[in-house]
Structure 1
Amino acid sequence: MLLTGTVVADASTVIEDGAIVVEDERIAAVGEREDVLDAYPDREVRSYDLLAPGFVGSHVHSVQSLGRGIADDTELLDWLFDHVLPMEASLDGEAMSVAARLGYLEMIESGTTTCVDHLSVHHADRAFDAAVEMGIRGRLGKVLMDKSAPDGLQEDADAALAETERLIERYHGANDGRIRYAVTPRFAVSCTEECLRGARAVADDHDGVRIHTHASENRDEVATVEDETGRRNIHWLDEVGLTGEDVVLAHCIWTDESEREVLAETGTHVTYCPSSNMKLASGIAPVVDYLDRGINVALGNDGPPCNNTLDPLTEMRQASLLQKVEHLDPEATPARTIFEMATVNGARAAGFDRVGKLHEGWRADVVGLTTDETRATPLYDPLSHLVFSAHGDDVRFTMVGGDVLQADGEVVVADADAIRERAREVADGLDVAPDQPGR
């Protein structure tokens, strides 16, 4: 296949009249349109206004998709324990499958081609199966909770880790390596020391398995961990083995100087989730400081109940603007920096090599966008347009590993209307009616 349009190959490279050749799962050539067409005649040609690397959602909750809107205007721990976790506990296997499909559908439609997905305690198989069937690239994991969990979600640590092992054996490397595993403790508040150390041991026992958890998202969370362990959150995670190059920590808002030193020294990845952090009034992550220390910062939407969208383009805009306001500096987190967070930085956190750029030999994860009937006149800078103007509805083409998942605005790997209709039916049967301030 040969794709033409303005190619945003990476944060520094834009080819105004460019083309990409895809062979099998890789990019065979990138260059000026005329040169590429001459070198690769008789190829199927698809044209889009903008071509970009597929975006990486480095912290998402696909299976919370059925809870969008149930817990607005609520503080994090109340949001989690009074609304979202009970909703997760109520999902049976079919509901989990529907929720995951709904989440992956939204990602595919809006340009996310790779995700680091924090599932739930039960029925993780159904989400893994959905990811395989819909073709997304993902680092997924069953959630571990062995203390302070709502009814239906708390497990014995040994049983939870044994189930994790089973899922690793079944799914890690599935779909020709497109699906990989992350051992996924919910967070330190809901996991014993035994569970956290066990998570590290399981990850160490399996080549290429990573760890994905939440950390220091909320001041009450930080205080709870310190009361229980005598240590700040990042120091506690470091002590039990949950830092390092194979660890992705979502949020990391409330960290002190010594904790940031640990993140930098250990090579731990941080995922910045600005929309969620604003909506839950959790705070503003010290992203500029992290970047200055050489910490790899990726970008994530978090979950539909706390965002309430999985649109990566909207998230890029929020990510930059929030840091500019925080630092009163218009030069903070420019478009180039944010674009890297949403592409190559995210791929690095997720542990996928040669993902996040449109370069020869890299994996063919590509999105095509339209600028018709959008905020694209005039369009002086394609990179600026992607970060500050575009939104998920502009995405018309989505490819993962050379496979077309969406073409001309129509998802081709699933019946989108049927997924949404079934999701509405399942959601109507859940006891999750909002009961919140302002309603």
Structure 2
Amino acid sequence: MLLEGTVVADADTVIDDGAVVVEGDRIAAVGDRSELAERYPDRERRRYDVLAPGIVGGHVHSVQSLGRGIADDTALLDWLFEYVLPMEADLDADGMRIAAELGYAELIESGVTTVIDHLSVRHADEAFEAASRIGIRGRIGKVLMDKDAPDGLAEDTDAALAESERLIEEYHGANDGRIGYALTPRFAVSCTEACLRGVRELADAHDGVRIHTHASENRDEIAQVEADTGMRNIHWLDEVGLTGEDVVLAHCVWTDESEREVLAETGTHVTYCPSSNMKLASGVAPIPDYLDRGINVALGNDGPPCNNTLDPFTEMRQASLLQKVEDLDPTTLPARTVFEMATVNGATAAGFEGVGRLEPGWKADVVGLRTDLTRATPIHDVLSHLVFAAHGDDVAFTMVDGEVLYEDGDHVAVDADRIRREADEYEVSVAD
């Protein structure tokens, strides 16, 4: 297949009249359209206004998709324990399937080709199966909660670890390598020391498995961890083995100098979720400082109950604007940096090689966008347009591993009308 359009190969490379040639699951060539059309005359040709690498959702809760809007205007710990966790506890296997399908379908049609997904305690198989059916690339994991968890989610430590290992053996490397496993303890507040240390032991025992959890999102959370352990959050996670190149920490809003040194020294990845942090009034993560220290920062939407949308383009815009306001500096977190966070940085955090750029030999994860819109007229700088003006609705084409999953408003692999209908009909538990 030969894809034509303005090619944004990465944050530094734009080809105005370009093309991307796909062979199997890989990119064979990227360059000038006329030259590649001559070299590959027999290829099926498709044209889109802009071609870009698939976006990476660096922290998402697909299973919370059925709770969109149930907990607006609520503080984080109340939001979690009074609304979101009861909703998760009430989901049966069918609800988990519907929620995962809904979340993955929204991501695919919004240009997200790879996701780091933090599921729930029960029925994780349903989400793994949904991801394989829909075709998204995912680093996915069952949540562990063996402390201060509500009814329906509380687990025995050994049972939680054993179930995680079963899922690793069943799904890690599934769907021709599109699915990778991430051990996902909810956060330090809801996990015992034995659970957290057990997570590290499991990750070390299984090649390529990563760890993904929440950290330092909210000051009340940090106070609780310090009361329980005598340490600040990042220091506690480091003590039990939950830092390192294979660890992705969502949020990291409230870290001190010593904690940031730990993140940098250990190569731990951070995911920035600006819309969620704003909506829950958690604060502003010190992203420029993290980047200056060489910490890899990805970009994520978090879950629909604290964001309401999984649109990655909206998140890119929010990511830059929030930091500019925080620093009172219009040069802070420019479009180029944000685009890297949403693509190659996210892929690095997820542990997928050859993902995040349009480059020969890399995975054929490609999105095509339309720009025949008043909002997209004129375009003086296409990278600026993608970060500050584009919407997920502009996506007209999504490809993962060379497989077309979404084209011109239609999902290829699944019945989106059926998914939306089932989601509308499913009754979720909502607090009074």
TM-score bin, normalised by smaller chain: over 0.9
In structure 2, the partner of 1:315 is 315
Letter in 1 for 2:89: A
Letter in 1 for 2:38: D
Does the 8 Å contact 1:58/1:350 carry over to 2? yes
In structure 1, the partner of 2:105 is 105
Q: 1:200, 1:9 → 2: CA distance? A: 36
**Deviation of residue 345 (structure 1)?**
0.1
Quick check: 1:234 aligned with 2:234?
Answer: yes
CA shift digits 1:135-189 (9 cap, x unpaired) = 0000000000001111100000100000000000000000111000000000000
Match of 2:153, SS? coil
Q: 1:92, 1:335 → 2: CA distance? A: 41
In structure 2, the partner of 1:151 is 151
Q: 1:372, 1:123 → 2: CA distance? A: 42
Does the 8 Å contact 1:119/1:143 carry over to 2? yes
In structure 2, the partner of 1:51 is 51
**Deviation of residue 389 (structure 1)?**
0.3
Does the 8 Å contact 1:374/1:390 carry over to 2? no
In structure 1, the partner of 2:38 is 38
**Deviation of residue 372 (structure 1)?**
1.2
Q: 1:382, 1:42 → 2: CA distance? A: 29
Q: 1:10, 1:247 → 2: CA distance? A: 25
Letter in 1 for 2:149: A
Quick check: 1:166 aligned with 2:166?
Answer: yes
In structure 2, the partner of 1:401 is 401
Give me the identity figure in percent.
Answer: 78
In structure 2, the partner of 1:333 is 333
Q: 2:374, 2:215 → 1: CA distance? A: 37
In structure 1, the partner of 2:20 is 20
**Deviation of residue 432 (structure 1)?**
1.3
**Deviation of residue 409 (structure 1)?**
2.0
Unmatched 5+ stretches in structure 1: none
Q: 1:305, 1:125 → 2: CA distance? A: 22
Does the 8 Å contact 2:67/2:428 carry over to 1? no
Quick check: 1:430 aligned with 2:410?
Answer: no
In structure 2, the partner of 1:390 is 390
Letter in 2 for 1:345: N
Q: 1:376, 1:125 → 2: CA distance? A: 41
Match of 1:375, SS? helix
Q: 1:421, 1:43 → 2: CA distance? A: 38
In structure 2, the partner of 1:412 is 412
Q: Within 5 A, what are the aligned runs for 1:357-396?
A: 357-396=357-396
**Deviation of residue 375 (structure 1)?**
1.1
In structure 2, the partner of 1:88 is 88
Does the 8 Å contact 1:374/1:394 carry over to 2? no
Match of 1:264, SS? helix
In structure 1, the partner of 2:189 is 189
**Deviation of residue 374 (structure 1)?**
4.4
In structure 2, the partner of 1:295 is 295
CA shift digits 1:250-271 (9 cap, x unpaired) = 0000000000000000000000
Unmatched 5+ stretches in structure 2: none
**Deviation of residue 373 (structure 1)?**
2.2
In structure 1, the partner of 2:204 is 204
Match of 2:375, SS? coil
**Deviation of residue 24 (structure 1)?**
0.4
Q: 1:247, 1:335 → 2: CA distance? A: 26
Q: 2:363, 2:429 → 1: CA distance? A: 42
Q: 1:41, 1:311 → 2: CA distance? A: 36
In structure 2, the partner of 1:255 is 255
Match of 2:176, SS? helix
Match of 2:376, SS? coil
Does the 8 Å contact 1:54/1:367 carry over to 2? yes
CA shift digits 1:178-232 (9 cap, x unpaired) = 0000000000000000000000000000000000000000000000000000000
Q: 2:396, 2:374 → 1: CA distance? A: 13
Letter in 1 for 2:286: P
Q: 2:21, 2:207 → 1: CA distance? A: 32
Q: 1:390, 1:141 → 2: CA distance? A: 30
Aligned length: 432
Quick check: 1:115 aligned with 2:120?
Answer: no
Q: 2:374, 2:219 → 1: CA distance? A: 40
Stretch deviating more after TM superposition (293-302 or 404-413): 404-413
Letter in 1 for 2:293: R
Q: 2:205, 2:425 → 1: CA distance? A: 41
Q: 2:278, 2:93 → 1: CA distance? A: 32
**Deviation of residue 411 (structure 1)?**
1.0
**Deviation of residue 39 (structure 1)?**
0.3
Q: 2:96, 2:109 → 1: CA distance? A: 20
**Deviation of residue 430 (structure 1)?**
2.2
Match of 1:384, SS? helix
**Deviation of residue 42 (structure 1)?**
1.3
Q: Structure 1 length normalisation: TM-score?
A: 0.98
Q: 1:384, 1:157 → 2: CA distance? A: 48
Match of 1:405, SS? strand
**Deviation of residue 408 (structure 1)?**
1.6
Match of 1:245, SS? coil
Q: 1:213, 1:374 → 2: CA distance? A: 40
**Deviation of residue 431 (structure 1)?**
2.6
Q: 1:375, 1:384 → 2: CA distance? A: 13
Runs of 4 or more consecutive aligned structure 1 residues displaced over 4 Å after TM superposition = none
Q: 2:143, 2:72 → 1: CA distance? A: 23
